[in-house]
Structure 1
């Protein structure tokens, strides 16, 4: 068991006295006491407690720590203040090791750079995919080249957003999860690229009209998705910790906020539906379907969280599809 005496309080009013907290941290599984923090200021946050715990156990840096009120309860947010938690001046908290973590920026860069690289291997018809006779040949169909441009544009946009737009509320992700995510993104990119760039690939049934209409819808949805990400980023641009729900702006692409809680997912699904119609390729359709199911789950979770957190949240909004879902 480790012990740590709390930091001196930051400000003391001469006319009042501060009641310090004593914080006991137990292991979630064994209930064994790991650390006892003495004289912890009431205005300390969960993150402050994590930093103090880290001094006792250097191997468990703050991003690896899950601090809870109950062994089976939710993880407390870093910004939650000790005095506002449902505990007495002698508080018992529970610790769980989340395992090695990796920053979200690196997560997304890895997930999105991979499909770009993988797709180009098939687009340029490397010898080990289609045989030596077709190695480094070019497809005679313009839709194949257009599909490569659209696929590349989508992931380049994601990379740009990761670096310059997104503001992550959680700093890290478990290292084991990135393996699963990369397998999903990279694997599907290889599967759909193999068929779209295959020497026997045939263009869509309705020719140029089908390709042109789907390309226009693809660009509209990509623009809408980018606009929503900008709007969500601007909610946190002032650095305030106060929670606000997203709302439409002067940008017409954000007006979808009138009807759904997560229009970024709506536009994302629209992009992949357009790409499916453009290429008329079954693997792309399956990727779109699986993505839609996953994004619907995320959208519903966020939608219900907004309803619970904000009493004035617009009731007309649905999760991902206006008036339906």
Structure 2
């Protein structure tokens, strides 16, 4: 009868990890999270900054409580490679900080117009509306981060946060704010009310749509689990990621209100990143659910992409 415990050979991959054990003993029916925990306890590194792969084929071993060591195909004296991913930061913390940027920067430019632009004129109604919409959007984002989103990964490498913070603090913050509240901005002049009302309608539709889809995605994942179901409901029959579709709808509405090139730059950069994520998610759904999943021709925008 096979022993209920096995020994795994631990090998460093990349830069050396101090105190990395050469061998660990673990039960066949233990969860793979126990592999991470044993390595973490010995090396004094957080389990979240460790990448563990099978030495035989390089496939990743998940840090999961619902996958056993036996499920991975690891056997006695199997080798596993361990890589240090570097300092990590919690995804929830990343989201909170990046969305905080526009929430701080936009009021600063709006109320600091006399110092920033050297003008004594009051902000226009469109500039006031723009500020309200930006605040609504990012307050909703913060709410979703705290109470709606469930993250499949606990952390991300700290070095990668520079890109996220730059996008929201600079493009969505300083760049968007500077050109929205300037006395020479399109928002400082009267606009066609039809464009304003239509833009406002699109914005509201987009915001409600993203809130709905985020709640659908939340309910697909059990608390404390990374397992997912197949998403269904409004928008999910049209594209892989309707949350990205509604995000673009909301910002298209905002652009119809402020007519700023800075809005287009912010949205285009975001859309490129969302498109890459949507493609990856479509591939993952096809692999994970097989024939149960209705493959999508368009991943983000119906009839376009």
1:320 and 2:300 equivalent? Answer: yes
Partner of 2:28: 42
Q: TM-score, normalised by structure 1?
A: 0.85
2:175 to 191, 199, 203: 191
Matches within 5 A, 1:1-325: 18-29=3-14, 34-58=20-44, 60-70=45-55, 73=58, 75-79=60-64, 80-131=67-118, 134=119, 137-139=121-123, 141-188=124-171, 189-203=173-187, 207-237=192-222, 242-248=227-233, 255-311=234-290, 312-316=292-296, 318-325=298-305
Return the alpha-carbon distance in structure 2 between the equivalents of residues 30 and 177 of structure 1.
Answer: 19
- CA apart distance, 1:268: 0.6
Deviations 1:191-211 (A, max 9, x none): 111111001123478511101
Unaligned runs of 5+ in 2: none
- CA apart distance, 1:270: 1.1
- CA apart distance, 1:45: 2.4
Return the alpha-carbon distance in structure 2 between the equivalents of residues 237 and 86 of structure 1.
Answer: 26
Total equivalences in the alignment = 299
Q: TM-score, normalised by structure 2?
A: 0.90
Q: Secondary structure at the match of 1:257?
A: coil
Q: Report the aligned-residue RMSD.
A: 2.3
Q: Secondary structure at the match of 1:138?
A: coil
- CA apart distance, 1:156: 0.2
Runs of 4+ off more than 6 Å? 30-33
Structure 1 residues 180 and 324, CA, compared in 2 at 3 Å: closer, same or farther?
Answer: closer
Larger of the two Rg values belongs to structure? 1
- CA apart distance, 1:73: 3.9
Contact 1:258 1:317 in 2 (8 A): no
Structure 1 residues 241 and 167, CA, compared in 2 at 3 Å: closer, same or farther?
Answer: closer
Q: Secondary structure at the match of 1:243?
A: coil
Unaligned runs of 5+ in 1: 1-15, 249-254
- CA apart distance, 1:61: 1.1
